Amino acid sequence: MAKSETDFGVGYPIAIGPGLIDSVHAHLLDVPRSFRIALITDSTVGDLYADRVRAGLGRESDLITIAPGESSKTRETWATITDQLTDRGFGRDSILLAFGGGVIGDLTGFVAGTYMRGIQFVQIPTTLLAMVDASIGGKTGVDTPGGKNLVGVFHRPSTVIIDPQVLGTLPLNHLRSGFAEVIKHGVIADRDYFTEVAESVGRLVAPESRSSEGLTSLIARSVQIKAEVVASDERESGRRRILNFGHTIGHAVEAASNYSLLHGEAVAVGMALESRLAERAGIAEKGTAKRLEDVLTIAGLPRLVPDGISADDVMRLMQSDKKNRAGRIEFALPAGIGKMFEADGRWSVPVDVALIREVLHEKN
């Protein structure tokens, strides 16, 4: 697939194509030469690709490296990075490059959104999950002991640069994790796309398919779906809530695992159980949950709460979910594959606590 660039209606350009990390400068042409640039990454991604990105910038840049993993997505890391920027003399005419997975993107975006009341940043995602989800939409934030992403701001990136070739070094479990969001996009918005993903996911997780045109095409369609939803409701006051499918239970399961589960693995569990909730609440067509769970299985993703995680812990964490209203746990639920439930302009609904507990305890 040739390089493509469009804003997909979100108000900033999104470039998708192989080899783009070697020519980041081409997507920063509107940035004045006086700007300071900091490349923020983790040690794993930095060791692999940071030199290539910095060489392709065609100008000097600072490198800030943090430890990999969700455990770095904290207020403490935010403070460390902002202190480094201050110590190095970064001003309001600076730009940050978020080069990594969703943790780096969310954290760097939060730093950019709050440093000197807001500076520019660029998303350069290196995981499938970040490419199709976290890098698009302007949500930034950090985790707290109370749950995921409870502290953050909406802050748009100046541009998003997606290079599928970097997926060649992505561990298999992280690639599978990314397919959870790809599958989700089919469920929430496009039945035909869901079918396409179902037919190809088993093949595309193979090592030789990491940089294939087929995978690049799926990435582009997922980006388009995410961008279209975001463009219709940037601040999540309405339809954007459909992107939360799988995340109410998923975020709680992820936190309850002390982040030993990858985000996509937890979202897969959330989607499977929330689709069961939708059927039992009379919202989803019969068979919706099975169709979804069959594809999750092909992708090598989990469907049930792992042993060792209690339903009580998951319920407690869901109670602090920022999507809740009036103390009730709310869910974005499918009406079927390719269509989300909507009633009177609302795209999320409360579900009886007893029904939630029922699906959390299921073992098959």
Give the active site residues. 117, 139, 181, 226, 236, 240, 244, 247, 251, 263
The H or E element that residue 6 is part of is strand 4-6
Angle, vertex CA 250, rays to CA 249 and CA 256, nearest 5: 90
| Gap between the Cα atoms of 166 and 284, Å rounded | 38
Give the HSE-up count for residue 218: Cα atoms under 13 Å, Cβ half-sphere: 31
Bridging pattern class, strands 62-66 and 147-151: unpaired
Contacts of 147 (CB under 8 A, 6+ apart): 251, 252, 255, 317, 320, 321
Beta carbons within 8 Å of 86's beta carbon, 6+ residues apart: none
Dihedral sign from CA coordinates of 143, 148, 149, 150:
negative
End-to-end CA distance of the chain: 40
Residue with the two structure tokens 């979804």: 292
Give the DSSP H/E element, type plus range, for residue 126.
Answer: none
Instruction: Give the 3-state secondary structure percentages of the chain, helix then strand then coil, rounded to 5.
Output: 50, 15, 35
Cα separation, 225 vs 240, whole angstroms: 11
User: Rounded to whole angstroms, how far apart are CA atoms 5 and 55?
Assistant: 22
Alpha carbon distance 47, 55 (integer Å) = 14
Length of the chain: 364
Residue 169: helix, strand or coil by DSSP? helix
Would the CA dihedral through 265, 271, 272, 274 be positive or negative? positive
Q: What is the spatial distance between Cα 169 and Cα 49, in angstroms, rounded to a whole number? A: 10
CA pair distance 242, 230, nearest whole angstrom: 10
